[in-house]
A and B are shown apart, each in its own frame.
Chain A
Amino acid sequence: MSKVFEFVKTLLVENMQIDESKINMDANIIEDLGADSLDIMDIVNDIEKEFNVTIPQDQYENLRTVGDVVNFVEDKLGK
């Protein structure tokens, strides 16, 4: 799996104490993993810092699954 996925997985496990086995590219961050808006903001902040990208707030609603987040960041990184 990609570096971005691994980072997002670590965030979800460490910040939200989510069972690692539940985290895959199709997992819906709010519905399947139980995140709320504070978790999302927290995760986004960490991703922005780690990869030096900006994720505008109006994009948050498009980032529903772990895969959405990973793909968005990888696109920004030009991978």
Chain B
Amino acid sequence: MLNKGLNILVTGGVRGIGKAISLAFSKYESNIYIWDINDNGFDELKSTIESNGSKVFFNKVNIADFAQVEKAVNDILESNNIDIVINNAGITKDNLLMGMKEDEWDSVITVNLKGTFNVSKHIIRSMIKKRSGCIINIASVIGLMGNKGQANYAASKAGIIGFTKSLAKEVGSRNIRVNAIAPGFIETEMTLKLSEDVIKEYSKMIPLKRMGKADDVADLCVFLASDMAKYITGQVINCDGGMLM
């Protein structure tokens, strides 16, 4: 499905959905650049990626830091182009608005939304020069439907959706596609901490009657990055078992 030998950057690529994305791309003899704020679990991931026939490079990068991202991007661009970017890194700091601290708002907006800006901004120029590229932003159905206790997260993900559509319009003429994926209720370390009752309640709202798997999102990423999606840009594609229609 995907061309071989592409250079792919995955932020937050060591754990959760990002890990599944890194692994999905590793099946195509890719060069995978993984950024994360810590490398716990990277060694194991590295050996799996390499056994799939891809190369992997880890860099400890805080995407919220504009200057750090600029340097990390330039470090890659010195020797390689970046063909595909998956802006996946994100955090949650849930709280009802009345109790939400300024820091809880700022940090979620800064990592999720500004982080997406930082990475895209520093990479876009090289894609414009190359007249090709693909950016996939991991949003969330919460950015489309809202959720109690997640005003900060919902705002950041809704922001990513607006960002995605704007950038798609800016760079479409340079053969660069920009899309967003809105995962629904996905099994990750974070959601598996929820009680069975909560999971059952959520599952009732999902026509496919199950939580999503990180692989479901990763497969969509590979599709969007591939030539099969060559006429798709500026879209938000829900990967949620039909939870939001």
Q: Indicate whether A and B interact.
A: yes
Chain A interface (Cβ within 8 Å of chain B)? 15, 36, 38, 42, 45
Judged by a CB distance under 8 angstroms, whether B188 is at the interface is no
Residues of B within 8 A of A15 (CB): 129
Given A36-B173, A38-B170, A42-B129, 8 additional A-B pairs, CB 8 A: A15-B129, A38-B128, A38-B171, A38-B173, A38-B174, A42-B125, A42-B128, A45-B125
User: What residue of chain B has the Cβ atom nearest to residue A17's Cβ?
Assistant: B131
Question: What number of A-B contacts does a CB cutoff of 8 Å give?
Answer: 11
Residues of A within 8 A of B128 (CB): 38, 42
Chain B interface (Cβ within 8 Å of chain A)? 125, 128-129, 170-171, 173-174
Cα A15 to Cα B129 in complex, Å, equals: 7
Residue pairs across A and B with Cβ atoms less than 8 A apart, 11 shown, are A15-B129, A36-B173, A38-B128, A38-B170, A38-B171, A38-B173, A38-B174, A42-B125, A42-B128, A42-B129, A45-B125
User: What residue of chain A has the Cβ atom nearest to residue B171's Cβ?
Assistant: A38
> Mostly helix, strand, loop or mixed at chain B's interface?
helix
> Mostly helix, strand, loop or mixed at chain A's interface?
helix
Residues of B within 8 A of A36 (CB): 173
Residues of A within 8 A of B173 (CB): 36, 38
**A16, chain B: closest CB distance, angstroms:** 10
Cα A42 to Cα B171 in complex, Å, equals: 12
Residues of A within 8 A of B170 (CB): 38
Residues of B within 8 A of A38 (CB): 128, 170-171, 173-174
Residues of B within 8 A of A42 (CB): 125, 128-129
The 9 A-B residue pairs whose C-beta atoms are closest, nearest first, are A42-B128, A38-B128, A38-B174, A36-B173, A45-B125, A38-B170, A15-B129, A38-B173, A38-B171
Cα A15 to Cα B130 in complex, Å, equals: 9
Residues of A within 8 A of B129 (CB): 15, 42
Residues of A within 8 A of B174 (CB): 38
User: What residue of chain B has the Cβ atom nearest to residue A37's Cβ?
Assistant: B170
Cα A24 to Cα B174 in complex, Å, equals: 25
Cα A45 to Cα B174 in complex, Å, equals: 17
**A43, chain B: closest CB distance, angstroms:** 11
Residues of B within 8 A of A45 (CB): 125
Q: Which of A15, A36, A38, A42 has the most chain B CB within a 10 Å cutoff?
A: A38
User: What residue of chain A has the Cβ atom nearest to residue B174's Cβ?
Assistant: A38
Cα A73 to Cα B29 in complex, Å, equals: 46
**B119, chain A: closest CB distance, angstroms:** 18
**B178, chain A: closest CB distance, angstroms:** 14
Cα A36 to Cα B125 in complex, Å, equals: 15
